[in-house]
Every structure is written in C-alpha cells, then in structure tokens.
C-alpha cells in the first residue's frame, strides 16, 4: 500500500534538498517519487487519492485536502528545475493540482477535508493543520512563479 500524498510530499522534500545541496541523486529520487505519486491520481475530476494497493488498484477512493497541496508543491518545484517539454508537463500537472485544491476551498475562506468519489465531503470540522498545507502550497506557487519569470512582459500561467 502507498499514499500518493506521501509520495508527493517526499518528492518535494527531496527536490528542495537536491536544489540546496546540488545533489543530482536526490533530484532523480524526487522525480521517481513524483512519478509514483501520479499513479494515485483519480479520474474526473483528477484528485490525489488517499491510498493505492501495491498492484496499483485503488485502496481508498476518498481524497483528502493535504495530498492536493503536496501534489501542487511537488509539481511546481520539479517544473522549476526542469526545462522544455518536461517543465511543460510539470506545469500542466500543477494546473490540474491547483484545480483539485480549489475543490476543497469554500467561498467563505474555509476548507473541507475529506472528499468522496461522488464529489461530496464528509460533514465534519476540517483539521486546522490543513492551513499549513494550503499556505505551503501557495508559497511554493509564488516561489516558482518568481523563478520562472519570463522577463519579457509575458506572464507564466497555470491552465
């Protein structure tokens, strides 16, 4: 069993480490973890699911908020260290992850946590720790946009 959110979380952590230490092995491991995490993206709309079995069948079709933030963070940092078509693919993933995250945010500035395949959410208070994940994702979004500034008046956009 594996959790796509954890794969994305560790991909982001290893990519940060690899960047700071100029460690190509850590960056390669980050890319591999990210690719494994992508196997746990559910369809319509694409969201990072809670858990997959080792044979890549869905163990839990529910999708919590925090894996969406980790998916967004990891796709953005990997886009930042990539070029060409690879960067474009990571940025497309980032746009999809951002759309997934938006599903959890409410118009009144709050968030929901546990989404079921039919699009409904468990009616319970969302953990306050989700705020940390949301802020960290938007911090990575800001850092990536600054790093990928096109410098000629064009703006980098997601989706």
- The C-alpha atoms of residue 56 and residue 50 are separated, in whole angstroms, by 13
Say if 152 falls within a structural domain. Answer: no
- Give the chain's domain count: 1
Whether residue 66 is contained in a domain is answered as yes
Q: How far is CA 26 from CA 33, 88, 113, 158, in A?
A: 10, 21, 31, 26
Query: Residues 28-38: pLDDT tens digits?
Result: 999 999 999 99
Contact yes or no for 126/110 (Cβ under 8 A): yes
d(CA 159, CA 154): 15
The domain that contains 13 carries what CATH number? 1.50.10.10
Q: Is residue 26 part of a domain?
A: yes
pLDDT value at position 158?
60
How does residue 147 score in pLDDT terms, banded at 50, 70 and 90? confident
Residue 123 placed within a domain: yes
Measured between alpha carbons, how far apart are the two ends of the chain, in Å? 32
Tokens of 8: 């994305």
Q: Is residue 150 part of a domain?
A: no
Please check whether residue 63 is in contact with residue 101, taking contact to mean a CB–CB distance below 8 angstroms: no
Q: Tell me: the pLDDT tens digits for 129-139?
A: 999 999 999 99
Express each pLDDT in 57-101 by its tens digit: 999 999 999 999 999 999 999 999 999 999 999 999 999 999 999
Give the count of beta carbons closer than 10 Å to the beta carbon of residue 128.
7
Q: Is the pLDDT of residue 159 over 60?
A: no
Determine the structural domain holding residue 58 and report its residue range. 4-145
In 3D space, the residue among 89, 70, 57, 64 whose CA is nearest the CA of residue 6 turns out to be: 70
| Residue 96 falls inside a structural domain | yes
Q: Is residue 157 part of a domain?
A: no
- 48 part of a folded domain: yes
Q: Which residue has the higher pLDDT, 19 or 148?
A: 19
pLDDT tens digit sequence for 12-30 = 999 999 999 999 999 999 9
């Amino acid at each position: 069993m594996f959790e796509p959110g954890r794969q994305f979380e560790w991909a982001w952590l290893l990519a940060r480490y690899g960047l700071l230490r100029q460690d190509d092995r850590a960056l390669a491991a980050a890319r591999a973890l990210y690719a494994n995490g992508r196997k746990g993206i559910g369809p319509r709309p694409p969201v990072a699911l809670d858990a997959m079995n080792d044979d890549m069948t869905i163990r839990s079709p529910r999708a919590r908020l925090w894996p969406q933030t980790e998916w967004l963070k990891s796709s953005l940092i990997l886009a930042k260290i990539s070029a060409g078509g690879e960067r474009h693919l990571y940025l497309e993933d980032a746009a999809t992850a951002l759309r997934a995250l938006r599903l959890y945010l409410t118009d009144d500035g709050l968030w929901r946590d546990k989404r079921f395949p039919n699009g409904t959410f468990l009616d319970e208070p969302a953990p306050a720790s989700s705020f940390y994940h949301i802020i960290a994702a938007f911090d990575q979004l800001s850092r990536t946009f600054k790093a990928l500034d096109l410098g000629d008046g064009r703006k980098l956009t997601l989706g």
